[in-house]
Chains A and B, each alone.
Chain A
Amino acid sequence: IVMTQSPATLSVSPGERATISCRATQSLSTFLAWYQQKPGQAPRLLIYDTSTRATGVPARFTGSASGTDFTLTISSLQSEDFAIYYCQRYDNWPLVYTFGQGTKLEIK
């Protein structure tokens, strides 16, 4: 199974909405997570199990799915949201974790 994340770069103005997609080549479970990474920092878990926000993550971050398409939506972008975002899927047989290629969210 391959995960294709798009777009590679997304330019959005503060206050607007950003949508990042991750598509699987085969149907998978709901075990998909999203991470945010700022320059020089470790990744931070945002969303797990497709749509559950991690502790302390603002409500403007929403995860959803439709079939093999997974989406991270950030409503009303704040300055601190400009970063790189990765999706990550989990397969349990064999146990493998795969990250998407990443989406750089930049200020327009």
Chain B
Amino acid sequence: EVQLLESGGGLVQPGGSLRLSCAASGFTFNSYAMSWVRQAPGKGLEWVSTISGSGSNTYYGDSVKGHFTISRDNSNNTLYLQMNSLRVEDTAVYYCASQRALYYFDYWGRGTLVTVSS
């Protein structure tokens, strides 16, 4: 059974940093691309970032380019999202998602809430 468990969310002041983690199990982690997708309170889904199975290719949405960094540790089946220079508009539930194929997100974690507020 595929399981994705996010952690690391919390309350942070504007301009602060936070690192999210996603522990994966139940599939061959290094064979799957992985992504972060976020959802602001009461709003729709927004793609944040994607990393290839090997970790050699990374992609970012325009709203986070330059201040978020995605990475992965295939030896520990863990995905990360380093978030710097956080803004109020980064407040959202952050989901990690697995991608058997690049076209869609097949499994999702339960999400972790990031709140950016002074």
Contact = CB atoms under 8 A, between A and B. Distances in A.
B59 interface: yes
B47 interface: yes
A23 B107 CA distance: 25
A88 B110 contact: no
Contact of B44 (A54, A86, A97): A86
Contacts of B69: none
B102 A45 contact: no
Contacts of A31: 103-104
Contacts of B106: 45, 48, 54
Contacts of B109: 42
Interface residues of A, number: 25
Given A86-B44, A86-B45, A95-B102, A42 B111 contact: yes
Contact of A99 (B46, B50, B59): B46
A43 B109 CA distance: 9
A95 B105 contact: no
Interface residues of B, number: 21
Q: Which of B46, B102, B103, B110 has the most chain A CB atoms closer than 10 A to its own CB?
A: B103
Contacts of A97: 35, 37, 47, 50
Given A42-B111, A43-B108, A95 B59 contact: yes
Contacts of A98: 47
Interface string B72-116: 000000000000000000000001000001111111111100000
B61 interface: yes
A76 B109 CA distance: 29
Contacts of B50: 95, 97
